[in-house]
Amino acid sequence: METYTSARALIDASKPDRPVFGIRPHAAAQAAQWFLKNFPGEVAYAYKANHSVFMIGALYGAGITQFDVASIVELEDAATIPGVNLHFMHPVKSRSAIRLAYHEYGIRCFALDTEDELAKILQETGGAKDLQLFVRIAVPAKNSQVPLERKFGTSGPKAAKLLVKTRQVCDELGMTFHVGSQTTTPDAYINALEEVHRLIVKAGVVVDAIDVGGGFPARYSDSHPAPLSAFMDAIKNGFEKLPVANACRLICEPGRALVAEAESLLVRVDARRGNELFINDGSYGALFDAAHLNFIFPVRLVSRDIPSAELLQPFEFWGPTCDSIDRMKGPFLLPASIREGDWIEIGNVGAYGRAIGGRFNGYGSYLEGILLDEPMYTMYPVQQAAAAIG
């Protein structure tokens, strides 16, 4: 893999004919180090957010050895990392996935949110006595750009009953939740931990581990989250108030916050029509979130210099497929003179961009390069001074 000092250097040197992922492993490593130092518990990585070997290598090199996986394919990939501890945190798993995870890969940690799933886990592991079972509870999404409400999580009397039943059969009882991805204020975790508190009291069970999930924010052009330190403080306070806090592990499993900044997408303008730019990647590629969730990623022109006085103006993007939902409405602020043949760096797409991209219409094939410069926006204090914009 070639290394470049910047996106501009990559474009100049490699004259690509496809969209390019500009990977900044040092940014992922820095994010991981920050979490390992500041989160008041253990830090796992949600593998789904970005599976690039460079990203995983950077996180692992920084000290992340626990991974949350959601499928057998992720599990098989992650299991190749030496000495990893894998958590199978999808609340609905096939029987074959449970069998394979437990018997072939030695996974002991599973999430569940129903009695049916509990029964399934017990049946497929042969009534194992060494299970770490995390009951996923439903919590409201507050200031989350990607709420994960409704699909998973138990609540009220059902949750208390499930906690009691699970306690009776597991080695370690955990509780987990997800406040929604790109949660921009820490009160979501405060509310969630209060709900954990209420349920522990209601069920009257000893809980050995609390996993606060992911949800921690990244910076985007239209998203200015509270500092990550405020999230750490809120979680620490909420956790310490729990009646079980003294003898309980605390875990988080961020995806977005560890990798969002660490990857840019470099795209070429193939046509301009007024304020509409037709680019060579889109909603079926790495820009799903821009198209469907209206994320406004930071952008900059990288293929040529522009006079410093040149004004920026709002543009929208069309992706390369024939489909009219392949549209990223933005607005994305770029120099007024932008034209066909220009290359744009779209920053902070490291979370879920690469992971979601498909091959519709023959697109979705990328080149890659390592970038040594800093991400376009950062949440991490050390990088702040060096960040290119923001």
Ligand X SMILES: Cc1ncc(COP(=O)(O)O)c(C=O)c1O
* Interface with ligand X, residue 255, by CB under 6 A: yes
Residue 144 CB, shortest distance to ligand X, in Å, is: 8
Question: Could you give the CA distance from residue 349 to residue 32 in angstroms, rounded to a whole number?
Answer: 17
String of DSSP letters for 1-28:
--EESSHHHHHHHH--SS-EEEE-HHHH
* Interface with ligand X, residue 214, by CB under 6 A: yes
Q: Which of 254, 282, 353, 357 forms a contact with ligand X (CB under 6 A)?
A: 254
Percent helix, percent strand, percent coil in the chain, to nearest 5: 35, 25, 40
* Interface with ligand X, residue 174, by CB under 6 A: no
Residue 31 or 89: the one with the smaller Cβ distance to ligand X is 89
Residue sitting closest to ligand X (CB): 214
End-to-end CA distance of the chain: 29
Residue 102 or 216: the one with the smaller Cβ distance to ligand X is 216
Tokens read off for 106: 């030695």
Q: Find the binding residues for ligand X in span 107-146 (CB under 6 A).
A: none
Strand stretches in the chain, DSSP E? 3-4, 20-23, 42-46, 66-69, 85-88, 109-112, 132-136, 144-146, 172-176, 181-183, 209-211, 249-252, 263-273, 276-279, 299-301, 312-318, 327-335, 343-346, 367-371
Residue 118 CB, shortest distance to ligand X, in Å, is: 17
Question: Could you give the CA distance from residue 269 to residue 317 in angstroms, rounded to a whole number?
Answer: 9
Nearest to 111 by CA among 209, 179, 190: 209
Residue 142 or 300: the one with the smaller Cβ distance to ligand X is 142
Residue 68 or 263: the one with the smaller Cβ distance to ligand X is 68
Q: Is the previous residue joined to 331 through a cis bond, with omega within 30 degrees of 0?
A: yes
Number of Cβ atoms within 10 Å of the Cβ of 95: 11
Residue 90 or 268: the one with the smaller Cβ distance to ligand X is 90
Taking residues 56 to 85 in sequence order and writing x for each that binds ligand X by CB under 6 A, - otherwise, the string is: ------------x-----------------
Q: Which of 7, 10, 23, 49 forms a contact with ligand X (CB under 6 A)?
A: 49
Residue 48 CB, shortest distance to ligand X, in Å, is: 6
Radius of gyration in angstroms for the set of CA atoms belonging to the chain, rounded to a whole number: 22
Q: Residue 298 in contact with residue 332, Cβ under 8 Å?
A: no
Query: Which part of the chain contacts ligand X (CB under 6 A), choosing from 9-17, 197-205, 255-263, 304-312?
Result: 255-263
Residue 89 CB, shortest distance to ligand X, in Å, is: 4
Q: Residue 4 in contact with residue 371, Cβ under 8 Å?
A: yes
Q: Residue 348 in contact with residue 1, Cβ under 8 Å?
A: no
Query: Which part of the chain contacts ligand X (CB under 6 A), choosing from 210-218, 324-332, 337-345, 367-375?
Result: 210-218
Q: Which of 20, 31, 43, 46 forms a contact with ligand X (CB under 6 A)?
A: 46
* Interface with ligand X, residue 215, by CB under 6 A: yes
* Interface with ligand X, residue 147, by CB under 6 A: no
Q: Which of 22, 25, 213, 320 forms a contact with ligand X (CB under 6 A)?
A: 213
Query: Which part of the chain contacts ligand X (CB under 6 A), choosing from 118-126, 159-167, 254-262, 277-285?
Result: 254-262
Q: Find the binding residues for ligand X in span 341-370 (CB under 6 A).
A: 351
Residue 180 or 320: the one with the smaller Cβ distance to ligand X is 180
Question: Could you give the CA distance from residue 89 to residue 151 in angstroms, rounded to a whole number?
Answer: 14
Residues that bind ligand X (CB under 6 A): 46, 49, 68, 89, 178, 181, 213-216, 253-257, 351
